[in-house]
Amino acid sequence: MDAPERPLRIAVVTLFPELIESASRFGITGRALEAAIWRLWCVNPREFAMDTHRTVDDRPYGGGPGMVMLADPLEQALDAAAERIRADGGASRPRVVYLTPQGERLTHERVLALKDEGDLVLLAGRYEGVDERLLERRVDLELSLGDYVLSGGEFPALVLIDALVRQLPGATNDPDSIREESFADGLLDCPHYTRPEVHGGAAVPPVLLSGNHAQIRRWRLKQALGRTWLRRPDLLSGRRLSDEEARLLQEFKLESSPK
């Protein structure tokens, strides 16, 4: 892998920097990190706590269960994270993204937009949440992985990092595989097969063994359209199908309908 002229720089504000740092060193993200295609820093807000116990949370005003992360240590941690990016030659004001169930749903389109926008500071919250005043003042974008709650923002941050890094030039050995993944063109991916030709009594579709690349492309597109129609019809609702796509989807529906 050749390092790009301008690597993507990501700093994560987290109470568990070891989790982010260790998980980022595997697979595509790890190889791209070693090749300086992207760079990573972690900042622990406990470093900026004002008491001997390194407290970063307190009880919520108004009562209720759980604890809320304090604004002051987080604000200083955000400043330190941005400074590390600037000191490395990155953006003077990197965009701050807060990982939260209340955020915008993360999509492939958003990943591509963030990749193009450049350096990021990711804020991984914990406990019941973060003091709203900090979010209003310092956060540019809130992102969610879905309609469920996790113990903190570290795993969503890692998901976002992985999704971003695999889109960077040079991060993968086969750029075509990235272009053909699920959601890359707004569709789910087609089924894939490898050796042996028969497994568990099921054979590989003959078209994939034919060597006819035009027919293979047609089959894969039809399967991608059909799988999207079956599993994620919402992705098709706003898509304007080409004449070929419309024909292939109709073929899939006819072939899959009960005889």
Last residue of a domain, one of 136, 165, 194: 165
Per-residue burial over 66-86, b = 16 or more CB atoms within 10 Å of its CB, e = otherwise: ebbbbbebbbbbbebbbebbe
In a domain, 42, yes or no: yes
Pairing of strands 68-69, 57-58: antiparallel
Instruction: Assess whether pLDDT exceeds 70 at residue 62.
Output: yes
- Angle of CA points 90, 34, 100, to nearest 5°: 60
Burial of residue 228 (CB within 10 Å: 0-12, 13-18, 19+) is buried
Rounded Cα distance, 191 and 212, in Å: 17
Q: Which amino acid is at 132?
A: E
- Identify the pLDDT of residue 216: 97
Instruction: Assess whether pLDDT exceeds 80 at residue 11.
Output: yes
In a domain, 174, yes or no: no
- Are residue 161 and residue 200 in the same domain, yes or no? no
Model confidence over 77-87: pLDDT tens digits?
999 999 999 99
- Mean predicted confidence (pLDDT) in 31-57: 96
- Are residue 186 and residue 145 in the same domain, yes or no? no
- Identify the pLDDT of residue 180: 58
Which phi-psi region, left, alpha or beta, contains residue 230 (left: φ > 0; alpha: ψ -120 to 50)?
A: alpha
- Identify the pLDDT of residue 173: 77
Q: Kindly report the number of other CB atoms within 10 A of residue 126's CB atom.
A: 19
Nearest of 37, 22, 38, 77 to residue 54 by alpha carbon = 77
Per DSSP, the three-state class of 163 is: helix
In a domain, 3, yes or no: no
- Residue pointed to by tokens 């193009």: 116
- Identify the pLDDT of residue 179: 61
- Are residue 131 and residue 197 in the same domain, yes or no? no
**DSSP type of residue 228:** H
Model confidence over 145-169: pLDDT tens digits?
999 999 999 999 999 999 999 999 9
The CATH number given to whatever domain includes residue 210 is 1.10.1270.20
Q: What percentage of residues in the chain have a pLDDT greater than 90?
A: 88
Instruction: Assess whether pLDDT exceeds 90 at residue 108.
Output: yes
- Identify the pLDDT of residue 146: 95
Instruction: Assess whether pLDDT exceeds 90 at residue 32.
Output: yes
Q: 218 or 180, which is more confident?
A: 218
- Are residue 33 and residue 145 in the same domain, yes or no? yes
- Identify the pLDDT of residue 1: 63
Please indicate, yes or no, whether the overall pTM of this predicted structure exceeds 0.75.
yes
- Are residue 132 and residue 200 in the same domain, yes or no? no
Rounded Cα distance, 142 and 132, in Å: 12
Determine contact, residues 114/85, Cβ cutoff 8 Å: no
Last residue of a domain, one of 165, 191, 216: 165
- Are residue 220 and residue 157 in the same domain, yes or no? no
The CATH number given to whatever domain includes residue 152 is 3.40.1280.10
Domain that holds residue 68: 8-165
How many domains does the chain divide into? 2
In a domain, 173, yes or no: no
- Mean predicted confidence (pLDDT) in 129-156: 96
Residues in the chain: 259
